[in-house]
Structure 1
């Protein structure tokens, strides 16, 4: 299968790269490759990407794209987010095709996790 014109990489702002890395490592087991003090590449997350230092944040309400993760065990993922320091902004709700919740990570970016 060709990767031509496929989504290949996603970059997100991070007000505090160290806190963002610690959150995703604890909550989901992601790892990171640092490229200087203002950029880190996301590894082991399913889609390649990175966080760059900025005083911005990705929020669906502000028109940003929403990054959505998949979970085999949605309630366990919600607990992992909370234990890692994330803030739940939309508790688990149903939608056509499954259930999901939204959270904010330490740098203020909004993510969602869904499950069937």
Structure 2
């Protein structure tokens, strides 16, 4: 008797927008005089907590020092709040969802003003 293929369950994954502040660490790839950086990240997860955990783990593997993570919600939550989301952002979010990945969309280094 041939085995029936079970229908694929719809993914519960969503993409979350995170802002991660990182400090300095040897080999982190930041500019020489930078004191740290802010990263805008799109990360997939079944909930925001999972997206944060995965992001922090990957950033640590990449020799960075994550200090703080702020969550801005899923795409649907951001749309409900009236956020203006560009086509480029949507494309990166779609890629994060398709690849079940963490994508750094923007990095802004911090420098001391002194």
TM-score (norm 2): 0.26
Question: Between Structure 1 and Structure 2, whose CA radius of gyration is higher?
Answer: 2
TM-score (norm 1): 0.26
> Higher relative CO (CA 8 A, sep ≥ 6), structure 1 or 2?
2
Structure with the higher fraction of residues in helix conformation: 2
